[in-house]
Structure 1
């Protein structure tokens, strides 16, 4: 029952909004025709009534490019009436003295109407073509997502199911070391599966706008160290957090910031060669918490840097798997906190991510005194 009431309220709000929009279009259309008519009348000594007709037709065309059909028809009708009343002899009457002027008025009336309708139809066709193109692009993006996820979700699920079956069927025959290896495979697959589900949920929440940052005091050195420890690095990368004892505490959303660091590190470890060196630096610059994550891997193609934070964006010829959501979530979580993230290639090799988040700062002694 409550849902029905909320639905009715929502529909009523949409109707009111639609009516207000139409009213504004009518008023603006009338205002534009009146203003142009006054300007033409002010200089009528320098222009004849035929030129005034062309100027009014142009005004109707402009209105047709901006508004819906009924305001356009109203403006066309109003322009014809004004043209007749103010510009065709005898002035200030609706009488037309000559047959030629009468035919010209009838022609103007139909041309104005036809011009308005055709311009509106052309704009409508362009909008439909644009909507169709956007829809096709969206479908393509989601097909890419589903294709990626079908692999990303199926692989860890198959690993978990297969390993569990092995433990059930041959558990007593396996050595303790073999059992630990199988448990480790389940753990790795579970972490991978959980990461993909979290990415999908986070992107959904970002797009719906329900995620709001909750600021709290945070030791960035500790947060990053904890994030590194939580990650399951089944690869050979060297990750180094540069120590900085002079950093203040930052007031930001701990969960969002941890996810930002986690996603960038995961991206770096997935798409750089083994033995790549990854360095993390935290700085306090002006009123920002700045986190710099750089590596000495292969870097990014320059043409891809602009779009690398787009949803479902994956580099050409990159290894299979991955949904293309990790870096778009990095951007979303950073911007939700009022910050910005950037990427650039290093001069020699590798790439550098820079995250800047506006933040209040305080030192631990100050907090104790408070």
Structure 2
């Protein structure tokens, strides 16, 4: 069935896309007075997701646009107008459109990966990879969206009187869910950049100690039940690296540790510079920036350590969700800066990631002369 639809003429795919959205919309119109428009939004999102499995990217994007317009025009009051009166409805429609687009674009990318892997791996493994990613995305994207929509629905209920404290809690939950959604979208965009070869590091002087504290602060909610430690000399040199890439690297490693370690575990980031002649590339000063991110959790299964940097790979017996992109992005960003990354388990329990970068260094006392 998939093969037949994928090889259908482009015009026929557009027709299938339009008819699918139209039929579901007409059916929903019959029960518009019975169900809420949020339910209609979920149904249209399912239609777009199904079309993304079978059709090319442009027909899927057309379905996403038509679904958003139909939802706004026919199901969000006032009816038969594209005007939206409440900010909550505007946010809901915007989130619906974003998720529909992400679903279409990402599913199309996965299909391309599937076609490439047919020449290298068995079809069974390819389909398993496809299923795993879709399952994880279903959880990782749907959960924060459901939180946001649920909070909006509660705030909209005029019959329910909410205290200022409760309103503040709901808004806080919406903020957390939005940040989680943003993190997933950032990972997807970063993976696209890596695959396209678009990464071009912009080297500048970085205070990695300050950057690490910034990452810890941005993950304060995820780390509230963990102990965090930063080990670095007070006179730690500045390193000429890409600040944005380094922030994403440390963020993903610390975030990953917060997910896969028990409450009360310690997450430690250690930064130092040392002589290292293993690298072929060196600037004026033959120094290497070494960063270790470690924890005292349960570590990684020994037979899976070599796979954790693979795209879309998730630990076999992990209960935690995720798209399996975080560590592969870390490796890509490290290598884009001519660095190396290794992972091993600690003898007394826990894991340790070691990152090494050849980089120019500058003593902080020389900042004024730079």
TM range (shorter): 0.5 to 0.7
Contact 1:271 1:319 in 2 (8 A): no
What SS does the aligned partner of 1:355 have? strand
SS in 2 for 1:173: coil
Shift in CA distance, 320/365, structure 1 to aligned 2, threshold 3 Å: closer
User: CA offset at residue 271 of structure 1?
Assistant: 0.8
Cα distance in 2 for residues equivalent to 1:317 and 1:182: 33
Q: Distance in 2 between matches of 1:171 and 1:198?
A: 38
Map 1:1-370 → 2, pairs under 5 A: 131=119, 133=121, 137-170=125-158, 173-234=161-222, 235-286=224-275, 287-370=287-370
Structure 1 contact 249–364 (Cα < 8 Å) conserved: yes
Unaligned residue ranges in structure 2 (runs of 5+): 1-115, 276-286
Contact 1:171–1:179 (8 Å) recurs in 2: no
In terms of Rg, which structure is larger? Answer: 1
Q: What is the CA–CA distance in structure 2 between the aligned matches of 1:223 and 1:278, rounded to whole Å?
A: 16
- Hey, what's the Cα distance between the residues in 2 that align with 1:358 and 1:229? 27
Say whether the 8 Å CA contact 1:283–1:289 is kept in structure 2. yes
SS of 1:322's equivalent?
coil
Distance 2:164 2:117 in 1: 63
Considering fraction of residues, name the structure with more helix: 1
Q: Distance in 2 between matches of 1:281 and 1:329?
A: 21
C-alpha root-mean-square deviation of aligned residues, in Å? 2.0
The separation in 1 between residues aligned to 2:202 and 2:160, in whole angstroms, is 49
Q: TM-score, normalised by structure 1?
A: 0.63
- 4+ runs deviating over 6 angstroms: none
User: Offset of 1:184 from its aligned partner?
Assistant: 1.2
**Contact preservation (8 Å) 2:236, 2:364:** no
Tell me the alpha carbon deviations over residues 19-72 of structure 1, each in whole angstroms, 9 at most, x when there is no partner. Answer: xxxxxxxxxxxxxxxxxxxxxxxxxxxxxxxxxxxxxxxxxxxxxxxxxxxxxx
Residue pair 2:260, 2:320 contacting (<8 A) in 1 also:
no
Unpaired segments ≥5 residues, structure 1:
1-127
TM-score for both structures, normalised by structure 2: 0.63
Give the drift of 1:146.
Answer: 1.6
What secondary structure does 1:357 align onto? strand
Q: 2 CA distance for matches of 1:134 and 1:258?
A: 37
How many matched pairs?
Answer: 243
**Retained in 1: the 8 A contact 2:235–2:364?**
no
